[in-house]
Amino acid sequence: MSRFPAGQKPSTRAAQALGWIDPETGALVPPVHPAVQYERTAEGEPPGGRVYTRDQNPTYEQAEALLASLEVGQAAMLFSSGMAAATTVFDTLDVGDHVVAPEQMYWMLRRWLQDQAARERIALDLVPNGDMAALRAALRPGATKIVWAETPANPGGAVTDLAAAAAAAHEAGARLVVDNTLPTPVLCRPLEHGADLVMHSATKQLNGHSDVLAGALVTAREDDLWKRCRRERAFRGAVLGPFESWLLLRGMRTVCLRVGASARNAQRIAEALDGHPAVSAVLYPGLPGHPGHDVAARQMEGGFGAVVSLRMQGGADAARRVVRALRLFHNATSLGGVESLAEPRGQVEGPGSPVPDDLVRLSVGIEDAGDLVADLEQALDAVG
């Protein structure tokens, strides 16, 4: 039950989880519903419309409602992982449908799309991130069904103009789907810029504590594409468990605080290291000299995200050595937790990656900014 007043700010909606209150106990924290089945009424009707927990569980319905509210969408769906959410969108396509996606995106999804194209299940064009001329040239009116965007790009930081991408996609008869994992709805809400769907690896900053594997989709409207996505989720069973859904909801209640803190730390780090003699480039759209800064400033608010990437003067060897020299940053994959991480990202992705092997990706957490800058400076000084 919710008695939440309309017009409240996102931070208030998140902190109070839309004001949910248990109607029977008055509890402010929702319970976990582990039940698989729901007993029908004497007339044979399912209570609350729920039949089976694979896609009908009140625990994840509460998390979905909060996420839809934060993204200013009509509805949301949780999945067992970000990959499960993303691939569900493409599994709604017919064989041979055309997809346009960026060259630099979540590496596992890019490889999956390339595999699908190699097996002739889809037609695929990869275009440079943020290059609107290349995106428009790749579109095939009537054949292109999905335009995928990720902005800022992970890990290079390239920025895509969402309003322009949405207009181009719609003119060609396609849908714009945006991976909003890095900004989260705290910093950017793609649906407000014309996107049709938003995808999240909710494992990252939505949960924020590095202890839940989860994904999500949010839609601007409950149209035929959304209905196909919902059907695919039910068929595949790629849903989140009740306890994981409860943990995700708990994490989202502090998302505004955490995302704001990590974005401020990332900005401080980017400014401190810009021009460092051991670094050839700092890739972060919050820097005024970044080529996508103006677009990012127009479609983001409250910061530019928690990912800062460094290209090292000393090449791949320097990237490896600086990560080893860090003391506070953990050498680990993923991003969006309260703790800061670093890795030589191009080397982790391996052969075929568009990410250069001299790039170090920083996932900035919520520690003291001065401590993080000092750790990076000592590591860079050690590399020389």
Predicted confidence at residue 1, as pLDDT, reads 55
Q: Report residue 50 CA to chain centroid gap.
A: 29
For the segment 265-280, what is each residue's pLDDT rounded down to a tens digit?
A: 999 999 999 999 999 9
Predicted confidence at residue 41, as pLDDT, reads 80
Query: The domain at 10-252 falls in which architecture?
Result: 3-Layer(aba) Sandwich (3.40)
Instruction: Kindly indicate whether the domain formed by 255-383 is annotated with CATH number 3.30.565.10.
Output: no
The mean-pLDDT minimum among 104-108, 321-325, 328-332 falls in 104-108
pTM metric for this prediction: 0.95
Phi-psi group of 77: left, alpha or beta (phi > 0 → left; psi -120 to 50 → alpha; rest → beta): beta
For the segment 355-384, what is each residue's pLDDT rounded down to a tens digit?
A: 999 999 999 999 999 999 999 999 999 987
Predicted confidence at residue 2, as pLDDT, reads 59
Q: Could you tell me which residues are beta bridge partners of residue 78? A: 216
Mean pLDDT to the nearest integer, 340-344: 97
Query: What share of the chain in percent tops pLDDT 70?
Result: 99
Predicted confidence at residue 55, as pLDDT, reads 76
Mean pLDDT to the nearest integer, 225-248: 94
For the segment 5-57, what is each residue's pLDDT rounded down to a tens digit?
A: 777 899 999 999 998 888 888 888 888 988 888 888 878 787 777 877 777 88
CA gap 116, 101 in Å, rounded: 13
Q: Please name the residues in contact with 56: beta carbons below 8 A apart, sequence gap of 6 or more.
A: 38, 49, 50
CA gap 48, 359 in Å, rounded: 51
- Contact (Cβ atoms closer than 8 angstroms) between residue 266 and residue 307: yes
Predicted confidence at residue 3, as pLDDT, reads 63
The mean-pLDDT minimum among 228-242, 243-257, 315-329 falls in 228-242
Mean pLDDT of the chain: 94
Task: Work out the pLDDT band at 340, boundaries 50, 70, 90.
Answer: very high
Predicted confidence at residue 338, as pLDDT, reads 97
Catalytic residues: 54, 106, 179, 204
Task: Work out the pLDDT band at 145, boundaries 50, 70, 90.
Answer: very high
- Domain spans, the chain: 10-252, 255-383
Determine how many CB atoms are found less than 10 A away from the CB of residue 384: 11
Q: Could you tell me which residues are beta bridge partners of residue 20? A: 2
For the segment 163-179, what is each residue's pLDDT rounded down to a tens digit?
A: 999 999 999 999 999 99
Side-chain-side CA neighbours of 160 within 13 Å: the count stands at 41
Q: By CB neighbour count within 10 A (0-12 exposed, 13-18 middle, 19+ buried), where does 346 fall?
A: buried
